[in-house]
Amino acid sequence: MLDFKYDFDDIIPLPISSDAEGELCQIMYDDDYKHLMGIARAMLESKELSERALHITNSVVEVVPAFYTIWNYRYNIVRFLYGENAEALDKELDWLDEFTLNNPKNYQIWSYRQAILQLHPKPSFKRELPILHSMIDDDTKNYHVWSYRRWCVLFFKDFTKELAFAGDFIRRDVYNNSAWCHRMFVLKNYHPSAQEIEAEITYAKEMIEKAPQNISPWNYLRGIHEVFLSGNYSPETVEFALSFVGDFFERKFSINHEGSLCEEAPVVESSFALELLATVYSKRREHLQKAKEAYHGLIAWYDPIRKNFWEYRLGLLEKDEGK
Amino acid sequence: MPNKNISRARFINNKLLGRKRDVEEKTCIEEDIREIRPLTMQLSTETTQDRQEVVEVCEDLYHLLKHEDIHLLKEFHRMYLDYSFTNNLPPQLKALDASQPWLLYWIGNSLRLMNPKWLSKNYQQGISEKLLNASVNGGPFCGGLGQLPHLICNYAAVTALALCDNYDDCWSKINVHGIYQWLLALKMPNGGFKTCLEVGECDTRGTYCALSVAAMLNILTPELCTGVEEFLIKCQTYEGGFGGCPQEDEAHGGYTYCAVASLAILGRLEVINVGSLMEWCSARQFNEERGFSGRSNKLVDGCYSYWVGGTAAILEAYGYGECIDKPMLRDYILKCCQTKERPGLRDKPGKSPDFYHTNYVMLGLSITEHNFKVQGSVNSIKCAPIKESAEIVPINPVFGLPSEDLEKFVRFYSH
């Protein structure tokens, strides 16, 4: 655990638990860990900022990656020893890269990494790209890595690689919602032109055609319309959504006393298409009946577990009608 | 009811996933199945393959248990919790060395949710002594002896102490003023709270941990709340849920709960888009698995019974209506998150039980058996049983504690 390169003989380890009789949930620490943590605690207490202290933090987070106290201690050591020395801080990032690859689920790493980059005199986005890529490649929906990537993009103010980056992961798995959200992050920060928005709409539609029952591109498509187009859907988009609901709206439905549909279920390729159409039709007084039919269809056949929500929407429609 | 469930499962099988496996072989009694054609275009990827495996095990369980009237195996789960409160924890749990207050809250809360008496005076003494011993001067609290104060650990410690019924006057020993000064120091220019003074993340989770503790200890001052609302608003995404940070992070069950509970504490739910939030919450529930996922196109997980279910319960309490299917969630919890073989509750079939899931799945179960209505303040949300008998005590969905404990704790600091 401890490197013989460093001498810790002068340090008297501090206790790491109260050892009180009958203490609840006492962890049975092994002797190695007690010794290591005891030394770390003692050095932390005496605020020692040294190479050997850095080495101790290294050993502790390898055993307990979530040890936030030790990450904080490490940060203070690094700041004291390296200051704004770019080369030394790059070395720290190298060490962190390797540690990250071995501890993909830990997330103390990312706020530590942010702190180091903020300390660095010449931080580089390019330096961050390989680790970001390999982490997401390995775990394509890792929340903290995607979030850290967005932080980097904003920190370095460089959006140029992002649509392509997210696109690669969507190509690999069209259901990867993290990648879809990343595209929206780009759009919202980058003030796209009307043409670029149109291109994104086309892109979303192409992805929907590959797999119509996929919530991610439908949410994205609706998101773009709500965020950039004031919720106005073009006739083409309505046509597009209609192409996934078969003859649903051509059927004659009768709604019985319990409010459910009596007919046989028409074939629908995507419940999300129906949901989008219900949203669109809800905005137009002349189409309210169609919106209602869509909600009843979702309740009866296509997404019944969300009945309470669909009924909530129906309730809003009735309120609108009453006006 | 069973008929309805089978037809529902079949319909989703055919329609939503385009499954290859024939489910007809195990269903024979349904009369009212509506004929639905399968999806013609189903692209198979990592996401659909992972989900399909989970759907299959869940369906097998629903099929196997369809005639059984299943309850929470309280005495059985109690064994698991009691064992951990009467024995030392194995060395591999040193991974939780920096999260010790969490163990006390998860285990203590689970016991109390099933039966308040199961958290004995002895346990209450143990919880309060351990927490007060590990911290300097009664807070702010940290992960364990000699560690730095940490926002998330502080939250776990304070909620664990709330379970202790003021044993030996432990509530007087909480350093309310010290906690308040420290919370102010953690406040960031963007309105969020950082978990630690130097290096630490700043997200909706930390913000909830700050606000809920402040609300309980009666130190929720305007100074502490400045800018928090704006921070939270920016975390709501185009999908309707909330991400961790105000930078279009992906909507996520845990962060959504933290943001919505925080807004309830601030009394400002109306500043967000509640309609799209309800849509997002309802979209987390799967027709086949019946439980919730934490994000779009991710797998069902029992803990979201509380993170998403709790969000829905808060919205319900504030009069926005119900947006989830409680009986179906209950099915997932009782049939897929518990087994007769191993005590404790789990994420999903195939996973091992743990304390985290035991607590949050139980809180989720409470949500399925109660209706919620706010009465005057966030500290007093009426939690009324839907049927005569509930397995879990009433809870306050903003604080994740039994209503009785929360109300008593808040009263203690109110004067």
Classify strands B401-402 and B377-385 as parallel, antiparallel or unpaired.
Answer: unpaired
The runs of H, that is alpha helices, within A243-270 are: none
| pLDDT over 50 at A72, yes or no | yes
pLDDT of residue B15: 45
Whole-angstrom distance between the N-terminal and C-terminal Cα of chain B?
51
B250 DSSP assignment: P
Confidence of residue A251 (pLDDT cuts 50, 70, 90): confident
Confidence of residue A169 (pLDDT cuts 50, 70, 90): very high
Mean pLDDT of chain B: 91
Sign of CA dihedral B194, A184, A241, B8: negative
Rounded to whole angstroms, the maximal C-alpha distance in chain A is 87
A122 DSSP assignment: S
Using a 10 angstrom Cβ sphere, with 0-12 exposed, 13-18 middle and 19 or more buried, the burial of residue B207 is: buried
| pLDDT over 50 at B30, yes or no | no
Confidence of residue A157 (pLDDT cuts 50, 70, 90): very high
Q: Side chain identity at B322, as an amino acid letter?
A: E
pLDDT in tens, B89-135: 999 999 999 999 999 999 999 999 999 999 999 999 999 999 999 98
| pLDDT over 90 at A263, yes or no | no
Q: Residues B135, A32: contact at Cβ < 8 Å?
A: no
| pLDDT over 60 at A65, yes or no | yes
Q: Side chain identity at A314, as an amino acid letter?
A: L
pLDDT of residue B123: 98
Q: Which domains does chain B have, with CATH numbers?
A: 2-64 (no CATH), 74-413 (1.50.10.20)
Q: How far apart are CA B414 and CA B408, in angstroms?
A: 10
B239 DSSP assignment: T
Q: How far apart are CA B97 and CA A102, in angstroms?
A: 19
Q: Residues B128, B161: contact at Cβ < 8 Å?
A: yes
Confidence of residue B136 (pLDDT cuts 50, 70, 90): confident
Q: Residues A18, B132: contact at Cβ < 8 Å?
A: no
| Options B354, B382, B408, B413, the catalytic residue | B354
pLDDT of residue A19: 77
B295 is catalytic: yes
Q: Residues B231, B192: contact at Cβ < 8 Å?
A: yes
Q: Could you tell me which residues are beta bridge partners of residue B194? A: B202
Instruction: Name chain A contacts of B35, Cβ cutoff 8 Å.
Output: 264-265
Closest among B150, B158, B60, B68 to B109, alpha carbons compared: B158
Q: How far apart are CA A231 and CA A73, in angstroms?
A: 50
| pLDDT over 50 at B279, yes or no | yes
Confidence of residue B388 (pLDDT cuts 50, 70, 90): confident
Q: How far apart are CA B98 and CA A69, in angstroms?
A: 8
Where exactly are the structural domains of chain A? 1-82, 83-158, 233-323
DSSP string, B270-292: GGS-HHHHHHHHHHTB-TTT-SB
Q: Residues B8, B16: contact at Cβ < 8 Å?
A: no
Q: How far apart are CA A222 and CA A245, in angstroms?
A: 17
Q: How far apart are CA B23 and CA B14, in angstroms?
A: 9
| pLDDT over 60 at B305, yes or no | yes
> Which residues numbered 83-102 in A keep a CB inside 8 Å of some CB on B?
none
CB-nearest to A24 from B35, B130, B147 is B130
| pLDDT over 80 at A155, yes or no | yes
| pLDDT over 50 at B260, yes or no | yes
Q: How far apart are CA B321 and CA B281, in angstroms?
A: 12
User: Looking up tokens 């966030």, which residue turns up?
Assistant: B378
pLDDT of residue A320: 78
> Which residues numbered 229-248 in A keep a CB inside 8 Å of some CB on B?
none
B34 is catalytic: no
R_g (Cα) of chain B, nearest Å: 22
Q: Output phi, psi for A89, to 5 deg.
A: -70, -35
What is chain B's length? 415
- Return the H-helix or E-strand segment holding B16: none
Confidence of residue A260 (pLDDT cuts 50, 70, 90): low
Rounded to an integer, the average pLDDT of A256-269 is: 69
| pLDDT over 60 at B36, yes or no | no
> Which residues numbered 127-156 in A keep a CB inside 8 Å of some CB on B?
140-141, 143, 146-147, 150-151, 154
Percent of chain B with pLDDT over 70: 90
Instruction: Determine if the peptide bond prior to A235 is cis (ω within 30°).
Output: no
pLDDT of residue B16: 42
Cα-based distances in Å from B328 to B176, B252, B289, B291, B351 = 42, 21, 9, 7, 21
Q: Output phi, psi for B39, to 5 deg.
A: -65, 140
Closest among B80, B101, B48 to B354, alpha carbons compared: B80
Strand residues in A147-294 grouped as ranges (E)? none
pLDDT of residue A3: 64
Confidence of residue A323 (pLDDT cuts 50, 70, 90): low
pLDDT of residue A191: 87
Q: Residues A191, A151: contact at Cβ < 8 Å?
A: no
pLDDT of residue A256: 59
Confidence of residue A106 (pLDDT cuts 50, 70, 90): confident
Q: Residues B384, B373: contact at Cβ < 8 Å?
A: yes
Q: Residues A137, A131: contact at Cβ < 8 Å?
A: no
B385 conformational bin, left if phi > 0, alpha if psi -120 to 50, beta if neither: beta
Residue B287: CA count within 13 A, CB half-sphere? 25
pLDDT of residue B1: 35
pLDDT of residue B410: 98
- Return the H-helix or E-strand segment holding B373: strand B370-375
* Lowest-confidence pick of A20-34, A153-167, A296-310: A20-34
Question: What would the two tokens of residue A319 be?
Answer: 């309120």
Q: How far apart are CA B68 and CA B5, in angstroms?
A: 14
The whole-model pTM stands at 0.94
| Options B298, B373, B382, B408, the catalytic residue | B298
Rounded to an integer, the average pLDDT of A20-41 is: 92
Question: What would the two tokens of residue A265 be?
Answer: 């279920």
pLDDT of residue B79: 97
Instruction: Name chain B contacts of A270, Cβ cutoff 8 Å.
Output: 39
| pLDDT over 60 at B207, yes or no | yes
| pLDDT over 90 at A114, yes or no | yes
Number of DSSP helices (H) and strands (E) in chain A, helices first: 15, 0
pLDDT in tens, B308-354: 999 999 999 999 999 999 999 999 999 999 999 999 999 999 999 99
Rounded to an integer, the average pLDDT of B216-237 is: 98
| pLDDT over 90 at B34, yes or no | no
Question: What would the two tokens of residue B287 be?
Answer: 């027709």
Q: How far apart are CA A92 and CA B397, in angstroms?
A: 43
Percent of chain B with pLDDT over 90: 87
- Cβ–Cβ gap A150/B96 under 8 Å: no
Q: How far apart are CA A244 and CA A242, in angstroms?
A: 5
Using a 10 angstrom Cβ sphere, with 0-12 exposed, 13-18 middle and 19 or more buried, the burial of residue B260 is: buried
| pLDDT over 70 at A308, yes or no | yes
Question: What would the two tokens of residue A246 be?
Answer: 């078969």
| pLDDT over 60 at A262, yes or no | no
> Which residues numbered 26-65 in A keep a CB inside 8 Å of some CB on B?
26-30, 33, 37, 41, 44-45, 63-65
| pLDDT over 90 at A264, yes or no | no
| Options B51, B112, B150, B252, the catalytic residue | B252
pLDDT of residue B189: 97
Instruction: Name chain B contacts of A18, Cβ cutoff 8 Å.
Output: 130, 133-134, 145
Closest among A290, A13, A303, A323 to A314, alpha carbons compared: A290
Q: Residues A135, A104: contact at Cβ < 8 Å?
A: yes
Q: How far apart are CA A188 and CA A185, in angstroms?
A: 5
- ipTM for this prediction: 0.95
Closest among B219, B163, B150, B233 to B191, alpha carbons compared: B233
pLDDT of residue A321: 78
* Lowest-confidence pick of A168-172, A187-191, B150-154, B348-352: A187-191
| pLDDT over 90 at B185, yes or no | yes
Q: Residues B330, B302: contact at Cβ < 8 Å?
A: no
